[in-house]
Chain A
Amino acid sequence: MVTTVSQKTNSTVLKTVPMTQVELLKYYRDMLLIRRFEERSGQLYGMGLIAGFCHLYIGQEAVVVGIQAVLQPQDTVITAYRDHGHMLACDMDPKGVMAELTGRIGGYSKGKGGSMHMFSREKNFFGGHGIVGAQVPLGTGLAFAHKYRADGGICTIYMGDGAVNQGQVYEAFNMAALWKLPALYIIENNGYSMGTSIARHAAGQHLYERGIAYGIPGEEVDGMDVLAVKAAAEKAVQYVRETNSPMILEIKTYRYRGHSMSDPAKYRTKEEVDNMRQNFDPIERAKALLISEFSVAEETFSSIEKEIKEIVLESVEFAQTSPEPEASELMTDILINP
């Protein structure tokens, strides 16, 4: 639960983070793209065009947009299965993401991965992993490779609050600290490990402290404020890159939808969700700030909305017209022929 956030838009962050209108508008746009894309994903799921597990990112957009804003092209990114937002924030093509959701050949994994398993070598996005916590050692291995090659890159490893109780997360923390690996661990704390609230799943509520035993510094961040996320990310990324050491950011956020499409979310009240939507929504807060601090006109917002609508529509059309994979695809990509 996010309780520490001011109900008003927080312009103090703006004063401490040098920010131009162009930058903030970009974050606004990137968050809105994720929001609209996910809303359409939910609709397509309801229509039966997307199947299986589908975990929407709605409400959490400021997290990935704020973090990705400060990464360099050589940096790598890995996450778990609530991954659509991360892919869009990594500049992956919405058409390829949506077509993977519908299981088509034009999808990022040719229809073999689905919602939870997409990758882009070109964009340094390493998935898309379905086993809670497994992406943490994997990402630590990506960080190991950055160090091995001395390419100056860092790996940003996203996990949910549910992942922090997996043993392998601490195995990874230990090695990252011991070997000084450039790994930035992002805990997206949306308050619920599926249907189990943090109060019921975590001993000690401060997840940013989970690296203390390994000497890994951590910080708590308001994840409903894209500028707060960006500011924290800037410092954290600089620390990881310059010291070649891991760091943890616990980013307090909230998902408006259920854990997956099949979750009616009966473990929380409607009032709780409504309060978050109405008073803490990251997109509305960014918009309010753009109006109050930069006097951005309503036409600008409507033209962004229009642009995004077109991108999402285009992705939906592609995802419905791209063919399903042929039977000849079934037995390919199992092994690489040497």
Chain B
Amino acid sequence: MTLETSTITVREALRDAMAEEMRKDPLIFLMGEEVAEYQGAYKVSQGLLEEFGTKRVIDTPITEHGFAGLGVGAAFAGLKPIVEFMTFNFGMQAIDQIINSAAKTLYMSGGQMGCPIVFRGPNGAAKRVGAQHSQCYASWYAHCPGLKVIAPYDASDAKGLLKAAIRDPNPVIFLENEMLYGQAFPAPTGEDEVIPIGKARIVRSGKDVTITTFSLMVGVALQAAEQLASEGIDVEVIDLRTIRPLDEQTILQSVMKTNRLVTLEEGWGFAGIGSEISSLVMEQAFDYLDAPVKRVVGTDVPMPYAESLVKLTIPQVEWVIDAVKQVCYR
């Protein structure tokens, strides 16, 4: 079956996902800083105020801890909030409400208190915005039971996974990337193209080595794979799409086929997603490995401002190529 597709940006895909779901379910509302009249700090919510009105598209004061908590309370009452953080860096103000209130209350209540809420916004580094505005929260949130964590790469996944996140009865952390907002990809036009949470995607199949990655770094991995192909190394790239629950089977099956693994992420390496995947493969596919797993991660420093230093901090295509060659003993 071929889907009808059109080329849209990630920004439009996210907006369409919200609009389509909001048309179907009056309990869904969007709140956050500048989401309404300003049309979104990054224009993700463009047009939503005009269509859905002030009751359902709500500009908040700059008060992350407060409005995250308010959203969680509204979700306990059965509404379905989409809470936008202008960036996830600011969401750190609200991390207590996300973890202690949103993630844990279902358990603490013996299953009574569901919390159908989506926290979304850009995550990770943008272009030279300094240390406090450039951080990947994937491993922070993925650490916690009671949350689902999604980090899409292309427009199709952004749309289909955001729709799934909004429909999910659990708290979902939806990590977007500012650098991807303006990038265009083909995406299905159908309103029911929902992509299941918890399923990775093999975006490039290969036989020599596996790269696991997510979000913006999928593009970096694909570029590295192109160059490596010209040198005779056939790389398989897995876009994790969902960080928690992690699609362990897709990773393990790939490693059992290629016998080599490089993990790639923008965030710091210590206790990172690559560490988790390394453990998974060591525990469940140790005998299939022909080389130690190699992690490619953001450098262990606060994000610098100078362009020369940024290039030494965010994983570059060459770093991935080097890592792949190392695990291939080339």
Contacts and interface: CB of A to CB of B under 8 A. Distances in A.
B191 interface: no
A102 to B, nearest CB: 14
A336 B115 CA distance: 9
Contact of A141 (B69, B100, B167, B169): B69
Contacts, number: 149
Contacts of A175: 60-61, 63, 66-67, 70
Given A108-B110, A110-B111, A334-B145, A174 B69 contact: no
Nearest to B115: A336
A333 B66 contact: no
Given A112-B107, A168-B65, A171-B63, A141 B72 contact: yes
Interface string B53-91: 001000011010111111111111111000000000000
Interface residues of A, number: 47
A148 B70 CA distance: 13
A126 interface: yes
A121 B97 contact: no
B168 A119 contact: no
Given A148-B55, A171-B65, A175-B67, A109 B109 contact: yes
B101 A145 contact: no
B80 to A, nearest CB: 11
Interface string A155-169: 000000000000110
Contacts of A111: 110
Contacts of B226: none
Contact of B112 (A76, A121, A130, A148): A121
Residue with the highest number of chain B CB atoms closer than 10 Å, among A120, A141, A145, A336? A141
Interface string A174-191: 110010000000000000
A78 B97 CA distance: 15
Contacts of B71: 141
Categorize the interface residue count of chain B: 35 or more
B66 A134 contact: no
24 contacts: A109-B112, A113-B108, A117-B108, A119-B112, A121-B112, A126-B76, A127-B108, A127-B109, A128-B109, A131-B96, A134-B101, A138-B72, A141-B71, A141-B75, A144-B74, A145-B74, A149-B79, A171-B69, A174-B66, A332-B111, A333-B109, A334-B106, A335-B148, A338-B167
Given A134-B97, A168-B66, 17 more contacts: A126-B73, A136-B69, A137-B72, A139-B73, A140-B73, A144-B74, A148-B74, A149-B79, A167-B65, A168-B97, A172-B66, A172-B69, A175-B70, A334-B146, A335-B148, A336-B106, A336-B114
Interface of B: 29, 55, 60-61, 63, 65-79, 96-97, 100-101, 105-114, 145-146, 148, 167-170
